[in-house]
């Protein structure tokens, strides 16, 4: 048995988890670190309020199943978090406890109870995407006569062409774009995975015009800088998209009632590829999905559209005899 005096403290374990495990061994992205950090900030404040212990005085056993369940309930009921956010917080706590279990065996019983807490099931939202006319109106909305408008038009055209995540667009440099007979965008995706996506001639032409207007044409400079010369952030890209959508709603009034996020543009790319007959495995590579199974949500959405179209048709009437259960137990089962 390990001497209790030699047990690693909770603060030491948490610091090791972030610095050594996440930062060095797993080498996760800064976005993952930030998400895990936010989870533990919320959890430690909740623990301090609930059990009266400051974060530096906590022990692993204090993070028991009862506390974690109360914390998850607090997230949903008091902070108004969605079930998906609740499950993401639980995943961060589980990741830490799995790491801690290898460092402190004496807390195994408490850790196993938390690891047994299930993720809550939730309804998957209907996949949102735009029509070809709507996305065309959005891309054409920025004024090409201005510096900002030309940048936004090039950025939105590239987002639709590549189906890139907003973080991938924000991180693009001039070195990531190859313009030539075959134009390509090199994207850095989740988990530092890289992929190359071909560019349509129209997208390549728009990018050429934009690059000529850049003050700093060095290969390492941001492809889409802000007016202050710094790389655009994810939030600033979302704001510029919102401006373009508001302008495009004059031509496409239905856009006025929709919330169009950068991820909706990504969904739109995938759905338009699927509806054009592109194989689902190619779409998975296009979007940078680790597994083609992730891409099947677009098949499900496409099937839902077809089902809705089918409901608008009048089916052929075929007379059938109604089944009648011959046994009370069968009748019960049929009624379930």
Instruction: Determine the Cα–Cα distance for residues 291 and 269; give it in Å rounded to an integer.
Output: 18
Helical H segments across 258-291, by residue range: 262-275, 280-287
Phi-psi region of 7 (alpha: psi -120 to 50; beta: other; left: phi over 0): beta
Instruction: Determine the Cα–Cα distance for residues 19 and 23; give it in Å rounded to an integer.
Output: 5
Which residues are registered as beta bridge partners of 188?
A: 194
Asked whether the beta carbons of 159 and 130 are under 8 A apart, the reply is: no
Residues, the chain, total? Answer: 336
Q: Of 86, 151, 188, 289, which one is the catalytic site residue?
A: 289
Q: Of 120, 250, 263, 334, which one is the catalytic site residue?
A: 263
Instruction: Determine the Cα–Cα distance for residues 9 and 82; give it in Å rounded to an integer.
Output: 32
Q: Of 86, 151, 165, 240, which one is the catalytic site residue?
A: 165
Q: Of 89, 151, 240, 266, which one is the catalytic site residue?
A: 266
Which residues are registered as beta bridge partners of 313?
A: none
Instruction: Determine the Cα–Cα distance for residues 261 and 267; give it in Å rounded to an integer.
Output: 10
Q: Which helix (H) or strand (E) holds 185?
A: strand 184-188
Q: Of 21, 36, 99, 298, which one is the catalytic site residue?
A: 298
Phi-psi region of 288 (alpha: psi -120 to 50; beta: other; left: phi over 0): left
Task: Single out the residue of 255, 56, 260, 237 nearest to residue 155, CA to CA.
Answer: 237
151 is catalytic: no
Q: Of 59, 94, 190, 258, which one is the catalytic site residue?
A: 190
- Residues near 263 by Cβ (< 8 Å), separated by ≥ 6? 165, 166
266 is catalytic: yes
Asked whether the beta carbons of 283 and 299 are under 8 A apart, the reply is: no
289 is catalytic: yes
Task: Single out the residue of 245, 250, 289 nearest to residue 297, CA to CA.
Answer: 289
Which residues are registered as beta bridge partners of 322?
A: none
Instruction: Determine the Cα–Cα distance for residues 163 and 145; give it in Å rounded to an integer.
Output: 26
Catalytic residue set: 165, 190, 263, 266, 289, 298
């Amino acid at each position: 048995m390990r001497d209790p005096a030699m047990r690693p403290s909770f603060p030491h374990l948490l610091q090791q988890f972030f610095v050594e495990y996440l930062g060095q061994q797993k080498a996760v992205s800064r976005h993952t670190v930030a998400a895990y950090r936010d989870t533990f900030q919320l959890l430690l404040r909740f623990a301090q309020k609930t059990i009266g212990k400051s974060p530096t005085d906590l022990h692993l056993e204090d993070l028991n199943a009862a506390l974690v369940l109360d914390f998850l309930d607090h997230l949903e009921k008091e902070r108004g978090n969605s079930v998906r956010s609740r499950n993401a917080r639980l995943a961060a706590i589980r990741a830490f406890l799995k790491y801690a279990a290898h460092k402190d065996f004496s807390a195994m019983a408490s850790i196993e109870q938390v690891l047994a807490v299930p993720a809550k099931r939730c309804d998957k939202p209907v996949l949102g995407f735009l029509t070809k006319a709507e996305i065309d109106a959005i891309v054409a909305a920025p004024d090409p006569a201005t510096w900002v408008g030309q940048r936004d038009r090039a950025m939105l055209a590239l987002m639709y062409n590549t189906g890139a995540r907003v973080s991938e667009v924000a991180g693009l440099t001039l070195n990531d774009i190859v313009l030539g007979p075959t134009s390509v965008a090199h994207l850095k995706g989740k988990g530092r995975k890289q992929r190359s996506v071909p560019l349509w001639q129209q997208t390549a032409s728009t990018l050429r015009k934009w690059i000529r207007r850049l003050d700093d044409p060095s290969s390492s400079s941001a492809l889409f800088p802000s007016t202050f010369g710094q790389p655009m952030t994810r939030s600033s890209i979302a704001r510029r998209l919102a401006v373009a959508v508001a302008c495009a709603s004059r031509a496409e009034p239905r856009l006025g009632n929709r919330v169009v996020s950068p991820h909706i543009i990504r969904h739109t790319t995938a759905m338009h590829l699927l509806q054009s007959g592109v194989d689902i495995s190619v779409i998975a590579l296009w979007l940078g999905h680790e597994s083609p199974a992730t891409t099947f949500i677009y098949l499900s959405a496409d099937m839902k559209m077809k089902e809705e179209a089918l409901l608008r048709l009048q089916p052929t009437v075929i007379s059938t005899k109604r089944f009648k259960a011959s046994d009370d137990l069968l009748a019960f089962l049929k009624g379930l």
